[in-house]
Amino acid sequence: MTRPPLSAFDDEQFAAVSDEHDIGVNVLRALAKSHQEGIRELPGVDDIVYEWRNQFHQDPLVYRTDAVYVLALQSHVWTEFATSLDISDGELAALRTLHDRQARSLINDPNRFETDNAIVLTRP
């Protein structure tokens, strides 16, 4: 069984980030879903995590369960996602905040995201 793309995210995070960034909750959900589905399609969640773990100097994997990966990555990764998703700066800011809040709710080391950017991926 494949998990729904947004199952790694809490509804409360969507509502809070939507209000904070003045973006509709359904728009934010659609952005997050497009992001998750894009990773699933090319190259795949497990494959991209494997690539990032081998590509970057510091292992970006912060937390893992059967259902979710939490990673801390350099900001250029989000820039690449913004380009591929064709989203505005405001939409990117909201999506990044969603990932940051969800990541911080899952781990006990919030300092890990002071210099790197959180990315939460739903494992299929």
pLDDT tens sequence across 52-63: 999 988 899 999
Q: What is the residue-wise DSSP string for 23-52? A: --HHHHHHHHHHHHHHHHHTT-HHHHHHHH
Span 56-105, pLDDT tens digits: 888 999 999 999 999 999 999 999 999 999 999 999 999 999 999 999 99
Amino acid at 104: R
* Percentage, residues of the chain above pLDDT 70: 99
CA distances from 110 to 44, 92, 114 (A): 27, 21, 7
Per-residue pLDDT, 105: 95
Say how far apart CA 40 and CA 18 lie, in whole Å. Answer: 24
Averaged pLDDT of the chain: 94
Per domain, the residue ranges of the chain are 11-122
